[in-house]
Every structure is written in structure tokens, then in C-alpha cells.
């Protein structure tokens, strides 16, 4: 599956006929667009059982390829040479007085994240972004990460830094 790079313009996105031919779409096929977080999936509006099974297989293959990319980038859980970085502290249960929140510009309702620097002997609390830690991920996503045996410390590091880790 080679990605075909298309830019979205003010007029939308166009799909060249050659791309439609690669996907086995017929010119008369009606398409269904599934809108997901960070994902758009175009499939046939009507499918036979065989077409549906092929579609499921292709989507599973894409998901597997993306997970393989993540594991290749982050390594596996057993590849750490030091203590697991995932076993670090969380800010759960830590309360910051309202006066300190106000001074730091942290809203009262904001969830806190924590970074511990053992060498410096410091603890830094900050307002968590939308998804900054593994604790922010849904349970089913955590289960998937555990099943792939990916290094959770590395994954969390990429989350904290908001890194771009995939480019087609």
C-alpha cells in the first residue's frame, strides 16, 4: 500500500481516475466516507460479502503497518537498558494551591502533568495538553499498545513532545 499524497485545497480534494482504478472502484460505484479522528476512509457504499472482507483485510493491514512503524520507531518494551521510563510518576492526586495555579496561568479545571528530574532533584508540574501522557489514552488503545509490546516510555516521550512520528 503506497500512500498517494494529495493536498487538500480550498475547493476540497480530488481523486484522480488512476487512483480509483487502483482501488478497484467502478466508475458507477457510490462511495461512503467515514470520518474518524485523523482519518478519512472512502469505501464502497454497497459491498458484497467478499468485497467487505477484502476491505476489512486491507484496513487491518494498514493498521498493522502503522503499528509496526510505531514499534520500529520506539522499540520494544524489553529493549530499555535502564529502568522503564513508563514507570515514572504521574500527577494523579497532586493538588496545586489556587494561588500557584493563578501565578502559573494554569486554569483551575486543568489536569496536571509532572516531570521529575532525578539529577537536579526537581519536580515540575504543568497544565496537561489534550493528549500528553499515556494516561490520557483510551483503555482500548492502551490494550493495543500492551499487546504490541512497544516501549511505552518512548511512546509517552513522543506524546509529551508532540512529535511528528509518521510522514507518508
Determine the Cα–Cα distance for residues 157 and 159; give it in Å rounded to an integer.
Answer: 5
If asked whether residues 70 and 83 sit together in one domain, one would say no
Q: How confident is the model at residue 122 (pLDDT cuts 50, 70, 90)?
A: confident
User: Has residue 47 got a pLDDT over 70?
Assistant: yes
User: Has residue 88 got a pLDDT over 60?
Assistant: no
Q: Which pTM value belongs to this model? A: 0.69
If asked whether residues 96 and 29 sit together in one domain, one would say no
Q: Is residue 100 part of a domain?
A: yes
Helix ranges (DSSP H) in the chain? 17-22, 49-74, 98-104, 139-148, 152-161
Higher pLDDT, 55 or 16: 55
- Estimate to the nearest angstrom the gap between the alpha carbon of 81 and the chain centroid: 25
Which residue range(s) make up the domain with 127?
A: 77-161
Q: Is residue 4 part of a domain?
A: no
> Grid coordinates standing for 21?
482504478
Q: Is residue 9 part of a domain?
A: no
CA-nearest of 165, 167, 168 to 74 is 165
Q: Is residue 11 part of a domain?
A: no
If asked whether residues 24 and 87 sit together in one domain, one would say no
Amino acid at each position: 500500500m503506497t500512500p498517494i499524497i494529495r493536498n487538500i485545497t480550498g475547493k476540497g480534494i480530488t481523486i484522480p481516475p488512476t487512483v480509483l482504478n487502483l482501488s478497484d472502484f467502478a466508475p458507477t460505484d457510490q462511495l461512503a466516507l467515514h470520518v474518524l479522528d485523523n482519518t478519512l476512509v472512502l469505501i464502497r457504499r454497497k459491498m458484497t460479502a467478499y468485497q467487505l472482507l477484502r476491505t476489512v483485510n486491507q484496513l487491518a493491514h494498514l493498521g498493522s503497518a502503522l503499528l509496526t512503524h510505531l514499534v520500529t520507531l520506539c522499540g520494544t518494551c524489553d529493549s530499555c537498558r535502564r529502568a522503564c521510563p513508563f514507570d515514572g510518576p504521574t500527577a494523579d492526586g497532586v493538588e496545586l494551591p489556587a494561588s500557584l495555579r493563578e501565578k502559573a496561568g494554569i486554569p483551575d479545571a486543568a489536569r496536571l502533568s509532572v516531570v521529575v528530574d532525578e539529577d537536579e532533584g526537581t519536580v515540575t508540574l504543568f497544565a496537561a495538553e489534550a493528549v500528553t501522557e499515556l494516561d490520557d489514552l483510551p483503555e482500548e488503545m492502551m490494550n493495543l499498545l500492551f499487546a504490541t509490546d512497544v516501549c511505552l516510555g518512548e511512546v509517552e516521550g513522543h506524546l509529551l513532545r508532540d512529535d511528528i512520528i509518521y510522514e507518508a
